[in-house]
Amino acid sequence: MQKQEGDLIQGNTYKNFVNAIKSPATRVGYENSLRRYLNHLRLTKLDDLLIHASNPRYIESQVIDYIMSLRERWSSILHHTISDYSHLYVLPDK
């Protein structure tokens, strides 16, 4: 994902987070992960993640929900991929 004007990844929260990361490759990976997480939560700014900072249980439930959605998505993708490859290697009887 390319950083675009008006990007979700901006503001003080982002600056504090990104300045702690030394590796450019790690920074890009974290930015992409943050974008996916924000998209899942339907948030428009990274700073919006801190709105519920005083409610750790709410934050925990958001993270668990996101992890479960990833688990479901990747499980489905993995199942279809294995199925596709198994069909690929099945040779017709002759």
pLDDT tens digits, 15-69:
888 888 889 998 888 888 888 899 999 988 888 888 888 998 999 999 999 998 9
Are 47 and 77 contained in the same domain? no
Are 13 and 46 contained in the same domain? yes
Contacting residues for 43 by C-beta, under 8 A, at least 6 apart: 8, 49
Are 80 and 37 contained in the same domain? no
Are 38 and 62 contained in the same domain? no
Domain tally for the chain?
2
Measured distance CA(70)–CA(8) in Å, rounded:
20
Are 45 and 16 contained in the same domain? yes
Are 91 and 71 contained in the same domain? yes
Are 42 and 88 contained in the same domain? no
Measured distance CA(91)–CA(87) in Å, rounded:
8
Evaluate if residue 1 carries a pLDDT over 80: no
Tokens of 57: 């249980």
Range of the domain at 66: 54-94
Q: Could you tell me the pLDDT band of residue 89, with boundaries at 50, 70 and 90?
A: low
- What are the C-alpha distances in Å from 16 to residues 10, 42, 86? 10, 22, 47
Which pLDDT score, from 0 to 100, does residue 72 have?
A: 82
Measured distance CA(49)–CA(46) in Å, rounded:
6
Are 1 and 34 contained in the same domain? yes
Are 85 and 66 contained in the same domain? yes
Region of residue 10 (phi > 0: left; psi between -120 and 50: alpha; otherwise: beta) = beta
Which pLDDT score, from 0 to 100, does residue 84 have?
A: 65
Q: Could you tell me the pLDDT band of residue 85, with boundaries at 50, 70 and 90?
A: low
pTM: 0.67
- Which three-class secondary structure state does DSSP give residue 40? helix
